Amino acid sequence: MSTHSETTPRPEFTAPASCVDGVTIGSVLSANAPVGVPSKDAWEWQKDHYNLVSPLNRRKFRIIVIGTGLAGAGAAAALGELGYDVKAFTYHDAPRRAHSIAAQGGVNSARGKKVDNDGAYRHVKDTVKGGDYLVDQDAAEIMAKEAIDAVLDLEKMGLPFNRTPEGRIDQRRFGGHTRDHGKAAVRRACYAADRTGHMILQTLYQNCVRHNVEFYNEFYVLDLILVKDEEGKPRPAGVVSYDLATGEVHVFQAKSVIFASGGCGKIFKTTSNAHTLTGDGMAIALRAGLPLEDMEFVQFHPTGLAGLGILVTEGARGEGGILRNADGERFMERYAPTIKDLAPRDIVARAMANEVREGRGCGPHKDYVLLDLTHLEPSHIDEKLPDITEFARTYLAVEPHHQPIPVFPTAHYAMGGIPTNNETEVYRNSEETIPGLYAAGEVACVSVHGANRLGTNSLLDINVFGKRAGRKAAEYAATAEFVPVPDDAADRVLNMLNGILEGKGTEKVGAIRADLQKAMEADMQVFRTDETIRAALATIAELEERYKNISIQDKGKRFNLDLLEAVELGFLIELAKVMSVGALHRKESRGGHYREDFPKRDDVNFMKHSMVYLDPESEFEGVKGLRFETKPVVYTRYEPKERKY
């Protein structure tokens, strides 16, 4: 396929007829890129031509960013560069402690024909196919189109990408990155050893500091203030935050609010996620009356250190690593004969779990498989994968140069979250958005990942839509008025915190949390059935009742981690319920959601996004207090087909 310059018109596109009832195929999207401007200069041109407000007045417009990971830092850096009054809140003692620092493998960018004859259109196709066709294709096109500039922007900021001998940004193979309709793997992932997230976060943090972003460290945002306007529609007025250092509750007013608070992997016992990834932003949005989209889709990364869940990057297989069972067999040849170990993550994770179920697992309990790097040059491993080799030595006493690494799937990424449009505006229902409220990163569902995220698309999603969130928040703040904050804005948070502090029950937070994680691990992991999902929901109902009877030891105000864990547990229970109910309703197998009692994908009945709300007057799938809607999947050019690799 030929490439086109910025000024060359694209040929007319005739969309195929949809095979799904009620779905209308759209047209090829405009990238809205500046005409006649080289891609390397596009962002500078965009900044110079923003029709917003005088730079002298921009500091009057306050914008709050919740989270300081890659999405939050990206949004804050973009806003700071434009001159706005940006306040970034983080639970951690420093912005760089965000979980984005743990991302390893790379960031996706189909950098034209110079590398494996790749192109953005192939990136879009792989994203849609990898997401099992639940991807909103207009969003995927935007992401793939802006991927090249996103990587170049990071490079100009100073990010130390690995280099080829010629001095260009190096790229590695990754799962699901293909050409010729899946016939061969391509090198599409730009990387900085196995520390890509770490390097990007450091780079964006430096730019936040450079542009005077104000950080509120150890400020835990616990509520979103939504106020209805004259038409009865919600508008953000600000947030309510708990100061860990003093125990005080503060109300912050803002014109725009951006959620970038990460995922909810700690619902599960074995996860690659940090201890603090408890879905706070998702739960806050849910409690504010907003829906959550596609929460039943959870990605289990194939290669977590066995028994620990610590991430071993897919880049290890991109560099030549091989998965083997107890017989020494390269078993992925049976599941994905063409691209083998570099199949999409959901396929690899199920294959690994199946090998163990059928008795071909390794170790004394036959409960894991092996990632074999021993055939690679030790110098190559040390150069390209320094961190994961050290993890293997430290946590498993395995020397990767000479011994295979024990691995098993670990809960890794939530494809669902707070629903947004392509401009990152948050939906309040399946059709209407809330001006002034935005979300980006894992907390959001745009949806570029559909039912299964391709490796390295997360760092790309974060960068592209994080910056978009910043730009959109600036545009809104430039013309909007501050929404008055109600006098009782903090009451809900104060009542919740005081209720926990004054609780005299007999249940312990840690015990309930452990039981929740065990239940979700057993009943809602890689394989699911009606029976296991209902068992999970029954356990969650019991834990909800136990949660009402908790007490904590620490009754103080300063750095009360007992109190915080109790709050987080409430979030986890609600999200686990939404996740399980969504999985029960979706009677099909698609991407990261695999129902053994419904092993086939059902496009006729389930080619749509799930939307779940808290609603005390409603009932969904036998669970009281939840309401269900759907949102259509956006098509542009790719018809649903059976996935083959």
Tokens, residue 107 = 């960031």
**Given 122, 187, 345, 468, which residue is catalytic?**
345
Residue 71, token pair as written in the block:
């999405």
In angstroms, the Cα distances linking 482 to 426, 476, 487 are: 18, 11, 15
Residue with tokens 């965009």: 46
Is 345 a residue of the active site?
yes
The DSSP-derived string for 538-574 is HHHHHHHHHHTTB--S---STT-HHHHHHHHHHHHHH
Q: Give how far the C-alpha of residue 64 lies from the chain's centroid of Cα atoms, to the nearest Å.
A: 20
Whats the size of the chain, residue-wise? Answer: 645
Crossing angle of the two packed helices 509-523 and 530-547, in degrees rounded to 10: 170
Q: What Å distances lie between residue 401 and 293, 305, 321, CA to CA?
A: 43, 16, 12
- The position carrying tokens 């004259």 is 230
* Chain centre distance of CA 443: 6
Q: 3-class DSSP state for residue 374?
A: coil
Measured from the Cβ of residue 377, the count of other Cβ atoms closer than 10 Å reads 11
**Rounded distance between C-alpha atoms, residue 446 and residue 448, angstroms:** 6
DSSP 106-147: -EE---GGGTTT--HHHHHHHHHHHTTT-S-HHHHHHHHHHH
**Residue ranges of E strands in 207-318:** 214-217, 219-228, 234-243, 249-253, 256-259, 292-293, 298-305
What DSSP character marks residue 344? -
Q: Which residues are catalytic?
A: 345
